[in-house]
Every structure is written in structure tokens, then in C-alpha cells.
Copies of this chain bind each other. A is one copy, B any other.
Amino acid sequence: MNTMTTAKTTPTAEDDGLEEVVFDVFARGCPSRPTMEHVTGRWGGLVLVALADGDLRFNALRRRVDGISEKMLAQALHALERDGLVVREVKQAIPPNVEYRLTEFGSGVVERLQELIGFVEGNMAGVLAAQQRYDTAKANAEAGA
């Protein structure tokens, strides 16, 4: 297991010239890993979800995703655009007007992302409690040592 360095063909792929390819994030060299990292990374996910409510311009996005720097936003947008999650639309005008919009694929990703985020947010009270238990338990262990 996990000797795969890139996507491999399935054993069941029919020999019709269009071999079925399987992608697996668990495999070190699978191209799905970088894409997952763009989607779930520190900023990518927030940028995607911010676009769920409607198209936004660069600086509007920057305001929406609290704390992101110009550089990181540009970097995230490039990666998302390259992966086909986001489309960059330039409207010739002065001042320049550039809008970012989710693709269909991007929307699908956002749906799933929002379910995950919603679930985590909804359980944060429990998380906070768990953290307290963990911290006091560790403090006691250290005191007892």
C-alpha cells in the first residue's frame, strides 16, 4: 500500500483506450494532494466560501477574509484558478475591475466545505470543553511529576 507515486490505473479498467484513473490523497505523489491543500489550506477554503454568496473583486475579498494579506490572497486565487475552482473575469475599465467567480466544480467543493465548517462550528462548545479538560489534565500530570 501507498507505494503509488502518481495516479494509477485501476485493475478493473476495461481496455478501451480510456483507462479509468484513480486518485488517492493518501498516496504521496498523487496530484489530488496539492489540490486538497489549496481547498483546505489556511486561506483557500475561506476564499472559496467567501465567493459562495456572489462574485467579488480583489479588495472586496480581502475585506471579507479577515486577516489575509495581499500576497496570500493573490497566491490563493492563482492556485484556485489554476485548479479550475475559480474564474477570473477582467472587465476593461478605469479603474480596473476584476471579479472572481466560482466554477461549477468550485461550487460543489464549497457545498461540502460548508457542511464541514458548519459541523465544526456547531460543536465548538464541546471542543472548548475538551481543550480545558486536556489542559488541566496535563497541568496536573506535570505537577505530579
Complex: A50 Cα to B40 Cα, angstroms: 17
Instruction: Report which of B26, B41, B116 forms a contact with A46, defined as CB distance below 8 A.
Output: B26
Complex: A32 Cα to B50 Cα, angstroms: 16
Contact A108 B83 (CB under 8 A): no
Copies of this chain assembled into the complex: 2
**Given A26-B64, A116-B113: A84 in contact with B121 (beta carbons within 8 A):** no
Contact A46 B66 (CB under 8 A): no
By secondary structure, the A interface counts as helix
Which stretch, A9-17, A69-77, A90-98, A129-137, touches the partner chain B?
Answer: A129-137
> Per-position contact with B for A24-56: 1 when CB-CB < 8 Å, else 0?
111110011001110111100110011000000
